Chain A
Amino acid sequence: MSRTSILQSIKANQPSFVEAPEVENFAPAFDDAVEKYIEVLRGIGGTLHHVESDEQIISIIKAQFAEAKRIVSDLPGMSSIAQTYESGDGHVFEDVDLFIMDSNLAVAENGAVWISDNEIKERVLPFITQHLAVILDKKSIVPTMHVAYDIIAQKDYGFAAFIAGPSKTADIEQSLVLGAHGPKTMTVFLK
């Protein structure tokens, strides 16, 4: 192992110590975080519905995902349309059409929702599913990443992620295609 020699050479070569700056809490350039979130999410290829109840969500899902054969979610409110799941082997979710989850943190400036394996016990689910639905409370939307990390800073998790829209690629001649390896659509239900 080269550990010792690498560290020695870094110690010999690194410049003298300078402090890291305090990160300012840069104020956002917009007033209404909810409005901004909706605008940005739609800009990155997401779909958004304003809802008031689980019943409303269920009826929208039934209409929008009529073809879905396998819907998975462990949210109690979705039990009439979705199977619950056990964590263990992610491969068994290969044929999931729709995964419904909730998030308690979203970021207006980039449309992302934050998830972690404290809530989503099977890490691959939000990625392997053909379509992703997220239930989000307006109160969970913060304006910027700085505010988001103030909340996340001390949290413990094994895995966590910001997810912003459906998976996408523009690798072929910079033509945007939704549905690269992950979900082809992302639908947010805003309560």
Chain B
Amino acid sequence: MDHSQLAATFNKDESRVTWHDETLWWVRQKRDKQAHQLPEWERLRETASRIKNNVLSNLSGYLEEFEANAIKNGITVHWAADGKEHNAIVHSILQKHGVNKIVKSKSMLTEECHLNEYLHQQGVEVIDTDLGEYIVQLAKEPPSHIVLPCIHKKKEDIGELFHQYLGTPEGNADPQFLTNAARLHLREKFLTRKIAITGVNFAVAETGEFVVCTNEGNADMGAHLSDVHIACMGLEKLIPKRKHLSVFLRLLTRSATGQPITTYSSHFKKPRKNQEMHIVLVDNGRSRQLGRPDFRNSLKCIRCGACMNTCPVYRRSGGHSYHNAIAGPIGSILAPNIDMKDYADLPFASTLCGSCSNVCPVKIDIHDQLYKWRQVLVKDGHASIVKKLGMKGMTFTLSHPAVFNFAGKAGRWVLKHTPFVVNNGFNPWFKQRDMPEPPKESFAEWYKKAVSNQQ
């Protein structure tokens, strides 16, 4: 199933779609409020973007520096070419310790590598401890958002899941009550599991330390109570110096949820006495993406999720419609690098309105890259798929008024100011007909004005 088919499934429940749309927009507005409080916001984004340019231009050097420092700190460093090797490394550490039950805090990388499924097949029980991830795990679903994993679920769904798996009273869907039930249940897991896996938000070349950001405290509960801490990271997470954390920590959570910072920004530098600490550095297509000049900027991503919250298509099609661990605009750039054929539909799941690029804290040119992927996909012989999907993409926006309204406003601007973006050989809508002159106002805007003028 491709994006527009999956989106159609999501769209069957109209009131839920509206809720999803409005909730994510509310998160986007919280982000705006935080950003507007900092007069230096744009300069901060520029600084972050330029630090990441430096990282990409010297990634091999920073990786070697990071590795040497981490080893000096007593951490074991592993390198994995792909998801398969990553999973095997993690499993070998578990085997060495004879452990088959572990806790894991949020890591989109392990989602990308399908670690849970792999370990499950090896007879290992993995418990995701981030509340949102725990919920989707109970539901046997993947996360639908990188920061808000169960944003597609209503509290009643969650109440039902907890009733079934944790024995909470039937019909109780109170967020406070359910959170506390999960707290009690997972506390026992933290206390009894010997190995904890965490993700990594930033790794510092200069010091060999890594930083993990959570609001819940689950990464810390897992890591500090474990005998063995395994941190899994994509190799683009490197930053040169500890001091640079100031820039990224200021941007990350303001962009993600509109908080000034996450509750916990934990800096792991050395294992505890008698503890083992491992880092798995994972490539999985990243070095290839680095070699694509048009797309390498996608490796600057700090996974804040702002591009999803603002995306009119994401908000109304849901994360699962992207059939990839990372959904939304950034996921649609990363996925075709991993498999062009399987993900040929994703760069078309966009109106190219540019809202994603405007909010991105590291200034990735997201919508330009989506547009460029469309060209590559055609050139590489996915033209027939492209035509089919291109038409469907149009169908998706045309049949969803909210997306169309938003896309329409942006679209008219695009048509007026940059006609070449839309009027090109790659937009199949174009092949049979000429693009009409963009009206100055859409019918809806005109109608609103006409009505208020009458009053």
A-side interface residues toward B, CB under 8 Å? 1-3, 5-7, 9-21, 23-24, 26-27, 29, 40, 44, 87, 90-91, 94, 107, 109-112, 123-124, 127-128, 144-146, 148-150, 152-153, 156-175, 177, 179-183
Q: Measured between C-beta atoms, what is the minimum distance from A48 to chain B in Å?
A: 16
- Across the interface, B175 reaches (CB within 8 A) one of A107, A146, A172, A183, namely A172
Residues in B with CB closer than 8 Å to A109 are 250, 260
Q: Is the CB of A168 within 8 A of B266?
A: no
Residues in B with CB closer than 8 Å to A87 are 273
Q: Measured between C-beta atoms, what is the minimum distance from A19 to chain B in Å?
A: 6
Q: Is the CB of B225 within 8 A of A124?
A: yes
Q: Measured between C-beta atoms, what is the minimum distance from A125 to chain B in Å?
A: 9
A-B complex: 4 closest residue pairs judged by Cβ atoms:
A182-B217, A13-B291, A180-B216, A171-B132
Residue interface bits B122-161, CB-to-A below 8 A is 1, else 0: 0000000111100100000000000011110011001000
B375 at the interface (CB under 8 A from A): no
| Chain B residue with the shortest CB-CB distance to A125 | B224
Residues in B with CB closer than 8 Å to A24 are 40, 43, 47
Q: How many A-B residue pairs have CB under 8 A?
A: 245
| Chain A residue with the shortest CB-CB distance to B270 | A158
Q: Is the CB of B246 within 8 A of A144?
A: yes
Question: CA A44 – CA B260 in complex, angstroms?
Answer: 9
14 A-B pairs with CB atoms under 8 Å apart are A2-B85, A17-B57, A23-B246, A123-B272, A127-B220, A127-B221, A149-B243, A152-B242, A158-B271, A167-B217, A167-B263, A170-B257, A181-B187, A182-B264
Question: CA A164 – CA B265 in complex, angstroms?
Answer: 9
Q: Is the CB of A14 within 8 A of B57?
A: yes
Indicate whether A158 sits within 8 Å of B272 (C-beta atoms), given known contacts A18-B53, A23-B244: yes
Q: Measured between C-beta atoms, what is the minimum distance from A91 to chain B in Å?
A: 6
Q: Which of B180, B186, B249 has the most CB of A within 10 A?
A: B249
Q: Measured between C-beta atoms, what is the minimum distance from B330 to chain A in Å?
A: 20
Indicate whether A173 sits within 8 Å of B175 (C-beta atoms), given known contacts A6-B235, A112-B265, A180-B131: yes
Q: Is the CB of A111 within 8 A of B260?
A: yes
Q: Is the CB of B259 within 8 A of A44?
A: yes
Question: CA A21 – CA B51 in complex, angstroms?
Answer: 6
Indicate whether A182 sits within 8 Å of B221 (C-beta atoms), given known contacts A2-B80, A6-B287: yes
Question: CA A83 – CA B215 in complex, angstroms?
Answer: 28
Residues in A with CB closer than 8 Å to B281 are 6
B373 at the interface (CB under 8 A from A): no
| Chain B residue with the shortest CB-CB distance to A45 | B263
Q: Measured between C-beta atoms, what is the minimum distance from B347 to chain A in Å?
A: 21
B240 at the interface (CB under 8 A from A): yes
B-side interface residues toward A, CB under 8 Å? 23, 26-27, 37-40, 43-44, 47, 50-51, 53-60, 63-64, 78-81, 85, 129-132, 135, 148-151, 154-155, 158, 175-176, 178-180, 183, 186-187, 190-191, 215-218, 220-221, 224-225, 235, 240-247, 249-250, 257, 259-273, 281, 283, 287-288, 290-291, 293, 296
Q: Is the CB of B266 within 8 A of A169?
A: no
Q: Is the CB of A91 within 8 A of B191?
A: yes
- Across the interface, B180 reaches (CB within 8 A) one of A20, A153, A179, namely A179
Question: CA A110 – CA B215 in complex, angstroms?
Answer: 13
Residues in B with CB closer than 8 Å to A14 are 56-60, 290
Which secondary structure dominates where chain A touches chain B? Answer: loop
Indicate whether A177 sits within 8 Å of B179 (C-beta atoms), given known contacts A91-B191, A123-B272: yes
- Across the interface, A148 reaches (CB within 8 A) one of B58, B151, B246, B287, namely B246
Q: Is the CB of A15 within 8 A of B220?
A: no
Q: Is the CB of A168 within 8 A of B243?
A: no
Residues in A with CB closer than 8 Å to B250 are 109-110, 144-145
Q: Measured between C-beta atoms, what is the minimum distance from A38 to chain B in Å?
A: 14
| Chain B residue with the shortest CB-CB distance to A25 | B246
Residues in B with CB closer than 8 Å to A172 are 131, 135, 150, 155, 158, 175, 178-179
Question: CA A175 – CA B26 in complex, angstroms?
Answer: 12
Q: Is the CB of B57 within 8 A of A182?
A: no
| Chain B residue with the shortest CB-CB distance to A163 | B264
Known: A123-B224, A181-B129. 20 other contacts (CB 8 A): A1-B79, A9-B283, A14-B56, A15-B290, A18-B53, A24-B43, A26-B44, A91-B191, A128-B224, A153-B242, A157-B269, A160-B267, A161-B267, A162-B264, A163-B264, A166-B263, A171-B148, A171-B179, A172-B150, A182-B221
